[in-house]
Amino acid sequence: MAEFLSSVSVHVNAHGKLAETLRPCVGSVNRCCEGQSVEAARACIMNVIHQRGETVPRQRITIEDVAREAGVSRQTVTRAMNGMTEISPKTRQRVLDAADALGYRPSRFASNLASRQRSHAIGLVIASFRNPYYTELAAEVLDVATARGWQVVVCSREQGTDLELISTLAGQVDAIFGYFVAPDQASLATAARGVPVVMFERTAAVPGLHSVDLDFEHGIEALLTELRNRGASRFGLIESDAATDPGPYQPTQRRRAYEKLAGPGSLDSIVVAEESMRGGADGFRRLWNTSPGLDAVLVFNDLMAMGAVHGAHTLGVSIPADVRIAGIDGLSLGSVTTPSLSTLSIDRLAVAKAAADIVDTLLEAHDVGPHQSIVRTVTPQPLWRESA
């Protein structure tokens, strides 16, 4: 029983919200569980907790919690969990018992790091397989991973929420790359259970999360500057309504950069549309009807921009004679549209390499972390074709 109550105290420390529930229960637990096994005692106290209408918070147990419970160092926990020979069988069993009591499960990243495993697997989460930008990005990630001898598991947010996908992948891979929209970064780190996460187009601000940022401000500045040099003076924007799905719409980084750089006369010429070719066409028709006289339109991505070109054609608007249209992405598909699509091109190979370099840095650190955030930046560049 003393061993069990010691374990309870660790749970209280790890789950501070339980303190008020557990402390009044200790007396009744002593009475109902006296002489019983640790397993029976644990069942007893959980029964008391549930009778009081309480729940156990789902908070990640760390390697430090196990070390504290077993009375050993972090390094000893690592050796015990990975079957290494530098510790005695008795110490290993004590660590394993503590880990089992706390429900600790080491991440694949930590296990492979400790065992110096050379073969690694990467999880890639994209928004949709229906947008060719993400399939082109996946191809670059596959090429970069293959060159390093890594395997890649690809899934999309069409299969589940950010937290569900990260939680599933965390048991299968050594690191996770992707586009994530869940507002709480801490929840992403918790779902990853110690597996490093590299976010695209979103700055990491929580240990264990890292990012490859896209510098849209400088990219859009270069695009708008050249459009002005080509004679454009009145700008409009077609924004995506799905960039922050499933939460309520929030202006994207692309829109914020546009609003900062396009000038006050262009701030009223913004429409939010479905992130699809159909949405781009509808967005252009609405924008053209509400803001006649525009001579340049920037579109959230190339897929929507292709729809905007089609929408212009249905209205009898000539591109680029009447209005210039530019997307954002740099899709190879844009080179075969009529007219071919000008775009702010994202170097997807550079994004994939930057993410892989972050993982290389973490592997070279020989420390399971969680590590302070590593941030790399890629700046999109204008790619001029016929539409602008």
Rounded mean pLDDT of the chain? Answer: 84
Q: CB burial class (10 A; 0-12, 13-18, 19+) of residue 336? A: exposed
Through-space distance between the first and last CA atoms of the chain, rounded to whole angstroms: 76
Strand partners, 383: 343
pLDDT in tens, 302-319: 999 999 999 999 999 999
At 134 the pLDDT is 96
Instruction: Indicate the range of 171-175, 226-230, 245-249 predicted with least confidence.
Output: 245-249
Q: How confident is the model at residue 93 (pLDDT cuts 50, 70, 90)?
A: confident
Q: How confident is the model at residue 180 (pLDDT cuts 50, 70, 90)?
A: very high
Fill in the amino acid letter for 154.
V
Fill in the amino acid letter for 64.
E
Please say whether the beta carbons of 280 and 313 come within 8 A.
Answer: no
Per the omega criterion (within 30 degrees of 0), is the bond before 320 cis? yes
Q: CB burial class (10 A; 0-12, 13-18, 19+) of residue 76? A: buried
Per the omega criterion (within 30 degrees of 0), is the bond before 246 cis? yes
User: Count of residues for the chain?
Assistant: 388
Residue 52 corresponds to which tokens in the numbers above? 């009081």
Q: CB burial class (10 A; 0-12, 13-18, 19+) of residue 248? A: exposed
Residues 6+ apart with CB under 8 A from 356: 122, 141, 144, 145, 148, 150
Residue 288 corresponds to which tokens in the numbers above? 């053209």
Nearest to 161 by CA among 190, 133, 132, 181: 181
Instruction: Indicate the range of 32-36, 126-130, 136-140, 210-214 predicted with least confidence.
Output: 32-36
> What's the whole-number mean pLDDT along residues 76-81?
77
> What's the whole-number mean pLDDT along residues 348-371?
88
Please say whether the beta carbons of 363 and 119 come within 8 A.
Answer: no
Q: Which phi and psi angles does 140 have, rounded to 5°?
A: -65, -40
Q: How confident is the model at residue 242 (pLDDT cuts 50, 70, 90)?
A: confident
Please say whether the beta carbons of 287 and 272 come within 8 A.
Answer: no
In which residue are the tokens 């009081």 written?
A: 52
336: pLDDT strictly greater than 90: yes
Q: Which phi and psi angles does 291 have, rounded to 5°?
A: -135, 65
pLDDT in tens, 9-67: 444 444 444 444 444 444 554 555 555 554 555 555 556 555 555 444 445 577 788 88
Q: How do beta strands 296-299 and 235-240 pair?
A: parallel
- pLDDT exceeding 70 applies to what percent of the chain? 76
Q: CB burial class (10 A; 0-12, 13-18, 19+) of residue 90? A: exposed
SS3 string, the chain, reads: CHHHHHHHHHHHHHCHHHHHHHHHHHHHHHHHHCCCCHHHHHHHHHHHHHHCCCCCCCCCCCHHHHHHHHCCCHHHHHHHHCCCCCCCHHHHHHHHHHHHHHCCCCCHHHHHHHCCCCCCEEEEEECCCCCHHHHHHHHHHHHHHHHHCCEEEEEEHHHCCHHHHHHHHHCCCCEEEECCCCCCHHHHHHHHCCCCEEEECCCCCCCCEEEEEECHHHHHHHHHHHHHHCCCCCEEEEEECCCCCCCCCCCCHHHHHHHHHCCHHHCCCEEEECCCHHHHHHHHHHHHHHCCCCCEEEECCHHHHHHHHHHHHHCCCCCCCCCEEEEEECCHHHHHCCCCCEEEECCHHHHHHHHHHHHHHHHHCCCCCCCCCCEEEECCEEECCCCC
At 9 the pLDDT is 45
Residues 6+ apart with CB under 8 A from 51: none
Q: Judge if pTM exceeds 0.85.
A: no
